Amino acid sequence: MLKTSIRRFSVVSNVLNKNESNIKPVFKSHYLNEGVKHFDKNFPKQQKRKPWDNGEQTKDEFFMKKYGSISEKEREVLNQKVERQRRARKERKDADRQYRRQEKEDRFSRFGGNRDFRQAFKNPLSEYVYGTFPVMAALMANKRGLFNKLITHNPKEASGEIFKLAKKYGLRIDRKDSKGDLNVLSENGVHNGIVLETKPLELPIISSLGECDPELGTYKVSIVNELYNSEVQKLEQVIRSFSDESSSKYPLGIYLDGITDPQNIGAIIRSAYYLGADFIVVPDHDTARLGPVANKASAGSLDLTNIYQTVDSLRFVENVKNSGWNVITTSAKPNFDELQDLKLKHEKVEEHLKNKFIEVDELSSMMAQSPILLIMGSEGAGVRTNLKLKSDYLVGLNKGRRSGVDIVDSLNVSVACGLLISKCFE
């Protein structure tokens, strides 16, 4: 009998076919999203050229042509739009910074790391004021609303007064065994063995400066209440002392335009406080953060000085002028080449600015006759041209050296500010 052999096959294929949906591919697709696939990402991206890149006109000429002839109402709408965009960018940056800080904190809490470092990790919602005098000034001024705790490690200078203030506010004192913990909290700043965890300093928003009474030595400040969308007028006292009580007591304010170095802005606040300037105004953008670095450079005067913030620099300066204040902007006198360059850009601007300069010795006589808002700019760019055009006068410090290599063409802004404040009070 013929035997028939039966070929048997594996049942593995049937099982695989049955559970085909559970099989994972060997390679993961780069395109996880369903839909049409395209090759746009493989082609070079065409960047949109700016209108002034072709060399036919400069950037200043383009914007002067575009916005030079718009009405006051259109300009106001444009300024409001620009301010909204700046605030939105700032909010996005702050949110992104906050997210990164929180992510870093979560990572350390999940995966461990150096135990001492985790203990000294900074709270992203707090500000860490470090140094003997900044901490003492923050506690004395009590402008921050909340003090969390005092962190110390062998404090030396004037610590007794700080501990008295800490006891007054019921602060918890955290004494560290390691100096490294305070180095982390101060980001390796000179902390003198003492750090204060507290809220960041909130600056009142100012809209204008009001009338002055030279006999009583008082002046009005208009503060914006954002919660109720209203303005509140505060009566402030001129703070400097007068040798002759019968002399006119007018205030001096400082406006800082585009100063982005916290060391410089802290040194300016220190000079202004020491010499007797009444207040400081900063813009809400393009300025250094008034944080621990600026506070340390100010030797604690940041918390003791009246500092305001403005959201619209041009409107603020215009309001100040309308209230009878003299607005004086610091600017180096342009040489012949600079005047010609400015004349090529805009002849009327060149003529207007050239006739505004006064001598630095005139500041004291002007201070005796009216209140002054002194505008200081950064060492590189100086004060913006539109603020110079809004100002009543321009003033600069003359260079004393006649010969030598012309490398040093300007003073540090904090030094210049101190000299000009002294000239006002001579």
Q: Are 384 and 377 in contact (CB under 8 A)?
A: yes
pTM value > 0.95: no
CA distance 252 to 197: 33
The CA-based angle 47-51-56, given to 5 degrees, is 125
The CATH code that applies to domain 246-398+410-424 is 3.40.1280.10
pLDDT mean over 185-207: 92
pLDDT mean over 73-83: 86
Q: What is the number of other CB atoms lying within 10 angstroms of the CB of residue 35?
A: 6
Neighbouring residues of 321: CB distance < 8 A, sequence distance ≥ 6: 327, 390, 392
pLDDT mean over 153-169: 84
Instruction: Judge whether residue 346 has pLDDT over 50.
Output: yes
Closest CA to 195 of 143, 123, 141, 260: 123
Mind listing the pLDDT tens digit for each residue in 111-133? 555 544 444 567 888 999 999 99
Mind listing the pLDDT tens digit for each residue in 229-287? 788 999 999 998 877 665 678 999 999 998 999 999 999 999 999 999 999 999 998 88
Residue 283 has a pLDDT of 94
CA distance 128 to 126: 7
Mind listing the pLDDT tens digit for each residue in 296-316? 999 999 999 999 999 999 999
Domains of the chain, by residue range, sit at 115-198, 246-398+410-424
Average the pLDDT over each of 52-61, 105-114, 387-396 and give the range with the smallest value: 105-114
Q: Which fold has domain 115-198?
A: 60s Ribosomal Protein L30; Chain: A; (3.30.1330)
The CA-based angle 68-74-80, given to 5 degrees, is 110
SS3 231: strand
